Copies of this chain bind each other. A is one copy, B any other.
């Protein structure tokens, strides 16, 4: 299905967007966006689980608790996260929604707000108001501008869209740093003209977030602002039967794009764990590998350091036995780097991914070709599969390497 997903957005029936320069970014870059719907939308949201929640997160949660049936717009600013800003921050987030509502001639509780950027500074309201005015005047189909306008340290805009039986579904996202499972510094906005109830949309949004944005990690940190909003204006076909898949199919490439564009990332790494005692155990092992600084620096250095991977698995805090484990690596993004046995027409086939190489098995390293391993490690996309031999639990997470640039970017972010 994911072959049908495009990395651009043409148009979604009934939605208009704009990305403008309000003056928040010093360099003239786009820094505010509005996503507007001509019709009332069913709306769903997934928010950071950090106990430190930004003002826009608190305001959106309050709005959605009262109104998830007729949302009309989302207004977004970058450069300032409006987090750790106290009551004034809450008041400012509401003011931002109010101005957008006035300019768009909708009610205040029909507008959701999102902010991303530095923590602890108040919004520059004058510039926010100016940005809302500009955006409201330039609403159209320039999704690329909207995607660019929500970027912070992102180097590329992130878009995905899909047509499915007469319904369109499209999304934009931003990420870059502070990315971790459980929704890290990412903002995502998905819209569809498909028809679905708010309850089903919320379920689909939760499920899609679990399979996409919650599977990515750049640095294990989780932000105060993470928000995924999904709006359905119901003008197109009924998508009730397929809404979970549709939201997931749009969110998955957006989530992967965030990892590929992670701060300082030079490699995209699929961490696939199979044969753990449970899916939860597999996830725990995969997360521990994917957030290990030693593993991530080894990938950066192009070193097939299976020892660090196996040692990370060993400290994951769940059952793991190196003597029953095996580790495989292959270039490219595949479901599994290890051979997979499949049954078809009563026959059993073993599928071996191209160029896959076993590094470790039964507690000891194999006598593999270091040259071949080094070549695989030079690939921009790498899949590793750790088979645990304990059960049927499996999980996959997506991560990137840890580079000099990550340290440079985050050692000097505020300056």
Which residues of A are interface residues toward B (Cβ below 8 A)? 49-53, 81, 83-86, 118-121, 177-178, 180, 182, 219-224, 291-294, 297-298, 300-303, 305-308, 310-315, 319-322, 360, 362-365, 402-404, 406-408, 410-415
Q: Which residue from chain B places its CB closest to the CB of A292 in the assembled complex? A: B221
Q: Which residue from chain B places its CB closest to the CB of A177 in the assembled complex? A: B294
Contact A51 B320 (CB under 8 A): yes
In the A-B complex, the 9 residue pairs with the smallest Cβ-Cβ separation, listed nearest first, are A301-B411, A119-B307, A52-B314, A297-B410, A51-B314, A222-B315, A120-B365, A50-B314, A86-B364
Task: Tell whether A221 pairs with B83 under 8 Å between CB atoms, given A300-B411, A303-B413, A410-B297.
Answer: no
Partner of A408, one of B118, B312, B404: B404
Contact B297 A221 (CB under 8 A): no
Partner of A85, one of B298, B364, B404, B412: B364
Kindly provide the distance from the CB of A217 to the nearest chain B CB, expressed in whole angstroms: 11
Q: Which residue from chain B places its CB closest to the CB of A319 in the assembled complex? A: B51
Contact B313 A52 (CB under 8 A): yes
Alpha-carbon gap, A119 to B359, bound state (A):
13
Alpha-carbon gap, A308 to B119, bound state (A):
8
Partner of A297, one of B86, B119, B360, B411: B411
Other A-B pairs beyond A219-B292, A219-B294, 18, CB < 8 Å: A51-B320, A52-B320, A84-B363, A84-B364, A86-B363, A120-B306, A120-B360, A178-B294, A221-B292, A221-B315, A222-B315, A297-B406, A301-B413, A303-B414, A305-B413, A305-B414, A402-B407, A407-B407
Q: Which residues of B contact A364 (CB under 8 A)?
A: 84-86, 120
Contact A293 B411 (CB under 8 A): no
User: What are 21 A-B contacts defined by CB distance under 8 Å?
Assistant: A51-B319, A52-B313, A52-B314, A83-B311, A86-B364, A119-B307, A120-B365, A180-B315, A219-B292, A221-B293, A221-B315, A222-B315, A224-B311, A297-B407, A298-B413, A300-B407, A300-B411, A303-B412, A303-B414, A404-B404, A404-B408
Q: Which residue from chain B places its CB closest to the CB of A50 in the assembled complex? A: B314
Kindly provide the distance from the CB of A357 to the nearest chain B CB, expressed in whole angstroms: 15
**Of A52, A53, A219, A303, which is in contact with the most chain B CB atoms at under 10 Å from its CB?**
A52
Q: Which residues of B contact A51 (CB under 8 A)?
A: 313-315, 319-322
**Of A221, A411, A415, which is in contact with the most chain B CB atoms at under 10 Å from its CB?**
A411
Q: Which residues of B contact A305 (CB under 8 A)?
A: 413-414
Alpha-carbon gap, A415 to B304, bound state (A):
11
Contact B294 A84 (CB under 8 A): no
Q: Which residue from chain B places its CB closest to the CB of A301 in the assembled complex? A: B411
Q: Which residue from chain B places its CB closest to the CB of A121 in the assembled complex? A: B365
Q: Which residues of B contact A301 (CB under 8 A)?
A: 410-413, 415
Alpha-carbon gap, A219 to B220, bound state (A):
12
Q: Which residue from chain B places its CB closest to the CB of A218 in the assembled complex? A: B293
Alpha-carbon gap, A121 to B53, bound state (A):
48
Alpha-carbon gap, A321 to B224, bound state (A):
13
Contact A293 B84 (CB under 8 A): no
Q: Which residue from chain B places its CB closest to the CB of A291 in the assembled complex? A: B220
Q: Which residues of B contact A223 (CB under 8 A)?
A: 311
